[in-house]
Structure 1
Amino acid sequence: MDITKRFHRILAIYFQLQGKSVVKAQDLAERFGVSLRTIYRDMRALEQAGIPIYGEAGTGYGLSEGYKLAPASFTKEEILSLAASEKLMQKFVDHHMFLNFSTAIGKVRSYLRYSDKSNMMTLEENMWMSSTNFMFNEKVPEALSVLFEGISLRKIIQMEYRAVHRETANTRRIEPVGVFHESHFWYFVAYCHLRETHRHFRIDRIQKIMLTDEPFSRVHKPLNHYIEKQDAHPSIRISISVDKTYARYLQWDRMHFGFTSEEVSDQTVIMTFQSSNSIQEFARWYIRFADCARILEPDSLKDCVREILQNIKV
């Protein structure tokens, strides 16, 4: 059993090497749940099998340029996952990137047997994803693609960007670091030449975008550095008591507001949050279910909810 597991792991490592220019041993160890020493042994096994690997422990591994094996066959499960991923891409990326992905999937299809193509079509015909046009500005269908290109080529991007507090857009020259999806929207981190610092932007607020030929003016840290820095902002402890019957309806949104723990009793669920959202934002979320919940702390949240309710016009 262990020999079989090792064989499949070594094979998977080989495909990782084929798909990336450099693969770090630490990343492989975390992916397969084994020690670094095990990964080093697997690398030696690949080398002994005649696979031309360059690199060393502590830096990264890759295949010698130009080395490729014949395309591998796909399992039934892998083929169905390709069909599902195309539907997901249609929902979660902009139109320009979806067309590129769809073309790539079309090339993969050309290698499949007739029965495999038929299985893909059957699944596709019976999957439906709701439209999420609000993720992107329809007038800028290539925004995500341009950002990815700027990140990979390390080229400066020029864009027209309208911040939430502005009526009109202004021109920004940015050096994009990375892209992430959170709370139904796509965001990206970039060094902004206008503000002379790294900023977070939302993709649907881009009005125009263009990749320039100018290289980055500086070296940037990985994306997770800037996301963790944002998460380190001051937060406030919030505690609410929710009727047990209704508590389950909050579980989908509560993570966005810094949910940390809950205490369940016969009648209620006490939820605790360490929220970096504004009191105003949390209050407006709380009002959605205020008839079946009670604020325990802080008093500032209670005051904010009262103020909002007093200003309601009916």
Structure 2
Amino acid sequence: MSQLSRLISILTLLKSKRLITANELASKFNVSVRTIYRDIRKLEDAGVPVTTIEGRGYSLMDGYTIAPIQFTEKQANALITAQHLVKQTNDMSFLKDFKEALTKIKSVFRTSIQEKSELLDKNIHVFDYHYENLSSNILSEIQLAITNFSYVEINYQKVDDSKAIYRKIEPYALYSTQKKWILIAWCHLRNDYRAFRIDRIRHFKILIEKFENRKFNLQTYFQSCHYNVT
């Protein structure tokens, strides 16, 4: 990490926490405490009102503001996904606080990010609270393909098949059940909607080509009892 990136990150941390120590910052960025001292001086020289509280750490002067943080589309998608997972908790106070916090976070999204996050929000459903870390590591990419109406090519291996088959698909929605993330997409091989287990996708590539929205509706899909997973 460059010094500039570290300075911006330190400023963000100072803004997000009431008090933080030099040791905590050094551990966070894997640098020496002496380097953190120099970084703090750099921020002070740049006019940032850092307050040093002897024996306790650093803080920012009350009332100091920085420009709103810009979220990337993937970061916004991660928050929307977390919202659906959090809904599975039995603690209503936690649900309320998380919803209010997320509302505040959404308020700083750029308009284009807000629109895409709302689209993704309508196309995710979680049946249970379990979550599995996917070795394929493509959930974020799938979300981008859904919100940008991008064709995707995959090699997909069925549960009872030893070979992966090439598919060109139009990704529309995601749901989670039995610790698995499932992608619902229009499959050009089968000329119909199909459900794909993400952990069985052996190759995944987002294409430049865009597809026309078929006006897929997740709730209608569920009601049709059409969600057998291959």
TM-score, normalised to structure 1's length?
0.37
Structure number with the higher helix fraction is 1
For CA contacts below 8 A with separation 6 or more, give which structure has more relative contact order.
Answer: 2
Kindly name which structure, 1 or 2, has the bigger radius of gyration based on alpha carbons: 1
